[in-house]
Amino acid sequence: MLINIDNININQFITKLFNWIKDEGRTKYDESVTQLDHSIQTAMLARKYNAKSSLVVASLLHDIGHIILNENDLKVDFLHLDLNHEIVGAKWLEKVFPESVTEPIKLHVPAKRYLCTIDKNYYKKLSFSSKKSFNLQGGIMNNEEENEFLNNNYYMDALKLRKWDEKAKKKNMTMLPINDFKKDILSVIKKENIND
């Protein structure tokens, strides 16, 4: 169930968001980790590489579209269609977060396609689920798609996010609690769109 942001303050929103991700993120999208663990691992990598707060938040929330769509490996039709989780997630987040958060989220699938287009070895590094979804998401980019991707102001952030995304699938890793990312969210959230 999506969070209604009307008539709640920032701290209530963050608490509800984290609780929702913890509850709904127990399912698996990839074969090795839960969606919650994957999100936290991606954000931890962003921190490890000293990313700005907006990119840490984008890393934490990049696959929220999978949770919104209830897209996980328990579904019979899992990975049979591209449900555009990146667009669904970015669209849902844009009322509360700036473009510096939502654009890298929107672009992390095109970033995978771009990296596979320019580096044939990148595809070999993808997880099983990422390889399967690659073709559903459009496969190798044509020149027009490459140019469109490269002309987006956030393409570099999307490339970083994509590389962390692929590495953030480790089993039995020591995880930070999701609440550890609250200060990152507080630093970038659109305060004027939430009651305070």
pLDDT value at residue 193: 60
CB 104, CB 157: distance < 8 Å = yes
Residue 64: count of CB within 10 angstroms of its CB: 24
pLDDT value at residue 72: 61
Architecture of domain 10-187: Orthogonal Bundle (1.10)
pLDDT value at residue 5: 64
Enter the pTM of the model: 0.91
How far apart, in whole angstroms, are the C-alpha atoms of residue 176 and residue 82?
A: 31
pLDDT value at residue 69: 87
SS3 15: helix
For residue 125, the surrounding DSSP H or E stretch is helix 120-125
CB 162, CB 113: distance < 8 Å = no
Positions of the chain with pLDDT lower than 70, given as ranges: 1-7, 29-30, 72-80, 191-196
**Domain range annotation of the chain:** 10-187
CB 151, CB 59: distance < 8 Å = no
> How is residue 41 written in tokens?
């691992």
